[in-house]
Amino acid sequence: MRRICLITGASAGIGAATARLAAERGYDLALNYRTDHAGAAAVADDCQAAGAQALLCPADVARPDELSAMFAAIDARFGRIDALVNNAGIVGQTAGVTDLTHDRLRRMFDVNVIGAMLVAKETVLRMQAQGQGGAIVNLSSAAARIGSANQYVDYAASKAAIDIFTKGLGEEVAPDNIRVNGVRPGLIETDIHAKGGEPDRARRMAHMVPIRRTGSAQEVARAILFLLSDEASYVTGTMLDVAGGR
């Protein structure tokens, strides 16, 4: 039987690459995104071409009402969730801490922390009811270790929250054989840098990476699929850095 995998933020970047690889590896997919319908539809087409079912699930992860509708749609279509990639996330424009506004901080933590925790909660409830275990991968960032001074300390702090959430939730649900791990990508070539106002950020900073290059979304996707798989059956509550040694 094909396993059902929910991926948040699946219309672009790491989420899209993970969806395509998951389809190849035999998962059926619930593909969440916020507004990029065309991007999500293209990912769904590729997943279906690989033999997977793909359900489009538009919802802002920061909106509990939209999340409720999303999980209802997944329940109706698949009736179960075996794997979650908690990937939706945002950065802000480059700024020092003295320039951060209340609105920006609220949005950063609503999406990156509260959204991820609510999605994990709803997924765990379903996995516990199913009684067959499951696997969750949360997307953190190397920023959680580095702090991102003068760039986006708020983003780094939100990802540090994801690290400890991964540890705590992992311990809580380990008796249910639900494994919870995190991936900390480094400088990965996606559009997130342009959304933060710096399209060339990853390439500009590549010289700071020990391996001397940026990473690809596919390289992060492979780490995520490993942690979801039975190959990682004794791995839980931990973080995997996919950051070229940085």
Active site residues: 155
Closest contact distance (angstroms) between CB of 14 and ligand NAD is 4
Instruction: Pick the closest to residue 127 from 74, 89, 163 (CA basis).
Output: 74
Smallest separation (angstroms) from ligand NAD to the CB of 197: 13
What secondary structure letter does DSSP report for 33? Answer: E
Q: How far apart are CB 236 and ligand NAD at their closest, in Å?
A: 20
Binding site for ligand NAD (CB under 6 A): 8-15, 32-34, 36, 60-62, 87-90, 111, 139, 141, 185, 187-188, 190-192, 195, 202
> Smallest gap, in angstroms, from Cβ of residue 121 to ligand NAD?
16
**Which lies closer to ligand NAD via its Cβ, residue 110 or residue 176?**
110
Q: Name the nearest CA neighbour of 83 among 26, 8, 5.
A: 5
Q: Which residues contact 232 (CB under 8 A, 6 or more apart)?
A: 135, 179, 181, 226
End-to-end alpha carbon distance in the chain: 39
DSSP string, 61-127: TT-HHHHHHHHHHHHHHTS---EEEE-------S--GGG--HHHHHHHHIIIIIIHHHHHHHHHHHH
CB 165 within 8 A of CB 86: no
**Is the Cβ of residue 90 or residue 178 nearer to ligand NAD in the bound state?**
90
Nearer to ligand NAD, 104 or 176 (CB): 104
Least spacing, CB of residue 81 vs ligand NAD, in Å: 17
Q: Which residues pair with 7 in a beta bridge?
A: 31, 85
CB 139 within 8 A of CB 89: yes
